[in-house]
Amino acid sequence: MANIIDGKAIADKVVQGVAAELKSIKDVSPTFGATLAVVQVGNRKDSNVFISNKLKKAKEIGLGTRLVNLPETVTQHELESQIESLNSDPDVDGIIVQLPLDCVQKIDADAVIDRIDHQKDVDGLTRENAGRLMRGELDRTIFPCTPYGVLVLIQEATGDPNYVNGKRVVVVGRSKIVGSPAAALFMWHHGTTTVCHSRTQNLKELCQQAEILIVAIGKPHFVKGDWIKPGAVVIDCGINVENITEPEHKVVGDVHFEEARKVAGYITPVPGGVGPMTVAMLIKNTLRQAVARRLTSLSDDAWNIRVLEQKLLRPVPSDIVISRAQKPKMIEEVAKEVGILKCELELFGQKKAKVSLDVLKRLENRTNGKYIVVAGITPTPLGEGKSTTTIGLSQALCASLKKNTFACVRQPSQGPTFGIKGGAAGGGYSQVIPMEEFNLHLTGDIHAITAANNLLAAAIDARMFHEATQNDEALFNRLVPKDKQGKRPLSEIQKRRLVRLNIPVPEDANDLTAEQRKRFSRLDINPETITWHRVIDTNDRFLRKVEVGLSPTEKGHVRQTQFDISVASELMAILALTSDLADMRDRISKIVVADDHNGNPVTADDIGVTGSMTVLLKDTVKPNLMQTLEGTPVFVHAGNDCPFANIAHGASSILADKIALKLVGKNGYVVTEAGFGADIGMEKFFNIKCRYSNLIPNAVVLVATVRALKMHGGGPAVTPGAPLAFEYLNENIELLKKGCDSNLKKQIENALKFNIKVIVSVNRFASDTEKELNLVKEKAKEYGAVGVVADHWAQGGPGAIEVAKAVVDACEQPSEFKFLYPLSDGLLSKMSIVAKEIYGADGIELTDRAKQKLETYTKQGFGQLPVCMAKTQLSLSHDPSKKGAPTGFTLPIRDMWASVGAGFIYPLCGDITTMPGLSTRPCFFDMDIDPETELIDGLF
């Protein structure tokens, strides 16, 4: 008599093993979870029973479950759309479609199943998993549940995990769900497998040769006792119902059990054999895929990145020529290499994509990598190559030293791109590619900011117009119209305004008193205090001062205002400093656009546009993924592009940095950039960005050039478009030494005030001599930094290897980072500390207007915000003509403005324009497109 294989007992053992594994994972990662989603079409009774058993067993051990029940009228498209939705859901780890489909429409079930993401195909039935199984790629395959259960049944019953090895296996039945995958699975476990089906000749004789007989043919009692080889293992996968119309109906298998048990060595009963194992293996597969998706991605293994080889040419061609000569990887490949899941990627063409913030949730338990900021000495008007250094350093760390590394850079404004500065993709052999896509629209974030900004601007003028042209009753009635029942329901944003006014919120606004209605309806904006301007992403000097309301329809309500360039909008700073969409909405609500006539702040929430602005900006919070010339990953996101690191903090987004730090892991590196010199961008990066992000930087890379240091040593003026003076093209140790002893020394001291390690990266120019470069390195060491020469512009990543090694060494040392001032200090104290400690001033002096603003902002409760000093980038002082490290000056504070939504106050130290103009000869003269190839010329 055969040994009866107790499928229920073995299934319970498997499930308990899964439960124990789940518990051990949760002990280490308490937020870990695994979720199985079952898609059911119709309402078949037998399907309901099967689904109930699966979900019940999953819930018993702590797995999450989700049942998606669709009506029998569902169409192919609707069903496939539901599958795609589950594919994109980061909380779902496994998806199965319950078969057969109970529907009245004609539906291709195979096509539906094949829409399941193969990483979530816990039934193992997609073409991809089936193909991998047939090819023997067992380590990359999700085994179909029933064949997998059959294998485990045999291993457990015989006590031999290698029992199949060398055995003659006969599979009766070739279905896609059981027979065919079982044959493949047993073959790759080294069984000699034969598949039999309805057309097979001599079926009885073949079965008699089987040492392992697996029957899944769907015919009751089909295999008789005399078909079985004595001592064989018989696995009956059949489920057949006899006397189905009678109350005492029976479930029987494909094997005549009573006959077979007298011959076989082992046999599974029906029910109680294979059935429970199918459910158990489904549970096991679900946890396995959850671990693969959620925990395997937490490993700190080095990425396997396909590095793009660069063919270096001499002389170095133009940036656009270099960019166009390199064929980028598909962005899906870049994403996969760095551990971004397909469901976390939103493609914008083939070379760029947005990345979902779901990555942060998935990787929340992963340790952050090392955090490096690239700043610089006070630059010449030509720039000293911070963006190029950021890209070159990231290429060196990632492609050359094989360290997981992300670069995080700012998105360029189209104003400078079409003006005089050109693009901002880096330069030479250290660029973000494709540079055309980087420098133009990218994914539309700046356009979204433009739209949201101008919606608020339009709403301000419209509100003032309507308040000026309507009496109290008419204004209130239009703001809160009656519904069909005669009630006046309030929107959520209107309820918030009542709360701020300390007015009880009624169910029906009809219950408000006349005085309450007036206070609610009238913002009473003082036009002289409006700080919110319209924006456009184009350099246009004639929009620096405009009049609006000149049409007769505006009834004489004319006022002077101005346009800013889009990246100067407070919304850009909000985007760069936000932590998620909810935080963005909260920050938008706090934007102060003006004061009322009583001196109280009027906010975007008061205007009523918080939600609508957030709707326009909903996709902007997702960082944009691109790549460098060497195929290493880059996030391009937010940031106030030149020259608006003056009035804002001038850095890329906190979200990009946070996602990158999780993706690189504890042994990886994130290289980001701060605008302009260390006195501006670095100081704001530390005192503003790091406060809001709670991220601790590990090192500063301070970019310097011999050219800029000679200028600070007393060299002739450096003017865009004009030839460089003799001193800059020939060795001049005296000028260089003076520049090092002034500006380089001061900027290193500025970084050291934050207790941060400093690496001075000296960007090599063709005219630099070895004596000059060595002098800068020696001076950097003398002042407490590490000096390294870099040539990444001409060499790509290999040209920055020494910088990368210095960064790795610096990051090995503990970080004792500190802020320059506490937020509890008053605004006057904060301004004074920055002026004295960072700029070298003797003190500050406020104009009467600035004093009045200081008093107003303090009274309004904004005194606890950090300060974002707005001054020239061309000098440590407020005077752009003063080079080196000026002393003995008083910093003038001409005015003060509040970016309450972004979270800082910015004092104006001198004249700062927020709308650049076009020069006589802008970049656009050189730009064109080939109508046939669509290749763009003239970008740089």
CA 31 to chain centre: 20
Beta carbons within 10 angstroms of residue 469's beta carbon: 12
Going through 769-913 in order, the beta strands assigned E by DSSP cover 786-790, 843-846, 890-893, 895-899, 904-908
Average pLDDT over residues 189-209: 95
Going through 781-927 in order, the beta strands assigned E by DSSP cover 786-790, 843-846, 890-893, 895-899, 904-908
Helix (H, G, I), strand (E, B) or coil at 922: coil
**CB contact at 8 A, 748 and 786:** no
Tell me which residue has tokens 């329809």: 553
- Strand 895-899 and strand 904-908: the pairing is antiparallel
Q: Which two tokens stand for residue 76?
A: 């192919």
Going through 608-680 in order, the beta strands assigned E by DSSP cover 624-628, 633-636, 669-673
> Helices 179-187 and 127-135: crossing angle, nearest 10°?
30
Q: Kindly report the backbone phi and psi dihedral angles of residue 636, in degrees, each rounded to the nearest multiple of 5, phi listed first.
A: -115, 115
Q: Which two tokens stand for residue 236?
A: 């009956």
Task: Give me the percent of the chain exceeding a pLDDT of 70.
Answer: 97
| pLDDT tens-place string over residues 74-132 | 999 999 999 999 998 888 999 999 999 999 999 999 999 999 999 999 999 999 999 99
CA 760 to chain centre: 30
User: Closest Cα to residue 696, out of 819, 557, 525?
Assistant: 819
The H or E element spanning position 284 is helix 274-290
H-only helix segments in 103-252: 109-114, 127-135, 145-158, 179-187, 203-208
- Buried-state track 353-368, b at ≥16 Cβ within 10 A, e below 16: bbbbbbbbebbeebeb
Catalytic residue among 8, 54, 327, 361: 54
**CB contact at 8 A, 859 and 633:** no
Can you give the pLDDT at residue 422?
Answer: 58
Can you give the pLDDT at residue 647?
Answer: 61
Task: Enter the pTM of the model.
Answer: 0.86
| pLDDT tens-place string over residues 725-753 | 999 999 999 999 999 999 999 999 999 99
User: Closest Cα to residue 624, out of 647, 648, 652, 599?
Assistant: 652
Give the whole-angstrom CA distance, residue 438 versus residue 446. 12
For residues 299, 300, 304, 310, the Cα torsion angle rounded to the nearest 10 degrees is 150
Q: Burial, 44: exposed, middle or buried (Cβ in 10 Å; 0-12, 13-18, 19+)? A: middle
Can you give the pLDDT at residue 420?
Answer: 67
Task: Give the range among 238-252, 303-317, 650-664 with minimum mean pLDDT.
Answer: 238-252
Can you give the pLDDT at residue 415?
Answer: 79
Task: Give me the percent of the chain exceeding a pLDDT of 90.
Answer: 84
Tell me which residue has tokens 């290289």: 671
- Which neighbouring-strand residues pair with 939? none
At 440, is the pLDDT very low, low, confident or very high (cuts 50, 70, 90)? confident
User: Closest Cα to residue 153, out of 5, 357, 335, 322?
Assistant: 5
Q: What is the mean pLDDT of the chain?
A: 93
The single-letter DSSP state of residue 223 is: B
More confident residue, 474 or 318: 474
**CB contact at 8 A, 654 and 357:** no
Give the whole-angstrom CA distance, residue 119 versus residue 292. 9
Going through 24-150 in order, the beta strands assigned E by DSSP cover 35-41, 64-70, 94-97
User: Closest Cα to residue 703, out of 733, 738, 743?
Assistant: 743
Cis before 328? omega within 30: no
Give the whole-angstrom CA distance, residue 385 versus residue 790. 11
Task: Give the range among 294-308, 319-333, 433-447 with minimum mean pLDDT.
Answer: 294-308
Annotated active-site residue 882? The verdict is: no
pLDDT above 50: residue 642: no
| pLDDT tens-place string over residues 450-485 | 999 999 999 999 999 999 999 999 999 999 999 999
**CB contact at 8 A, 472 and 518:** yes
Give the whole-angstrom CA distance, residue 459 versus residue 29. 48
Can you give the pLDDT at residue 901?
Answer: 95
CA 746 to chain centre: 36
Complete DSSP assignment for 44-59: -HHHHHHHHHHHHHHH
Helix (H, G, I), strand (E, B) or coil at 323: helix
Q: Please state, in angstroms and as integers, the Cα–Cα distance from residue 73 to each residue in 43, 78, 91, following that order.
A: 11, 10, 28
The single-letter DSSP state of residue 600 is: -
User: Closest Cα to residue 576, out of 682, 676, 678, 651?
Assistant: 651
Can you give the pLDDT at residue 940?
Answer: 66
Can you give the pLDDT at residue 639?
Answer: 65
Q: Please state, in angstroms and as integers, the Cα–Cα distance from residue 656 to each residue in 354, 384, 653, following that order.
A: 11, 24, 5
pLDDT above 70: residue 643: no
Can you give the pLDDT at residue 646?
Answer: 58
| pLDDT tens-place string over residues 832-888 | 999 999 999 999 999 999 999 999 999 999 999 999 999 999 999 999 999 999 999
Helix (H, G, I), strand (E, B) or coil at 14: helix
H-only helix segments in 553-638: 570-577, 581-589, 604-607, 610-617
**CB contact at 8 A, 868 and 899:** yes
At 938, is the pLDDT very low, low, confident or very high (cuts 50, 70, 90)? confident
| pLDDT tens-place string over residues 553-585 | 999 999 999 999 999 999 999 999 999 999 999
Q: Please state, in angstroms and as integers, the Cα–Cα distance from residue 510 to each residue in 376, 480, 488, 507, following that order.
A: 61, 9, 6, 9
Can you give the pLDDT at residue 245?
Answer: 58
Q: Kindly report the backbone phi and psi dihedral angles of residue 116, in degrees, each rounded to the nearest multiple of 5, phi listed first.
A: -65, 130
**CB contact at 8 A, 133 and 141:** yes
| pLDDT tens-place string over residues 51-84 | 999 999 999 999 999 999 999 999 999 999 999 9
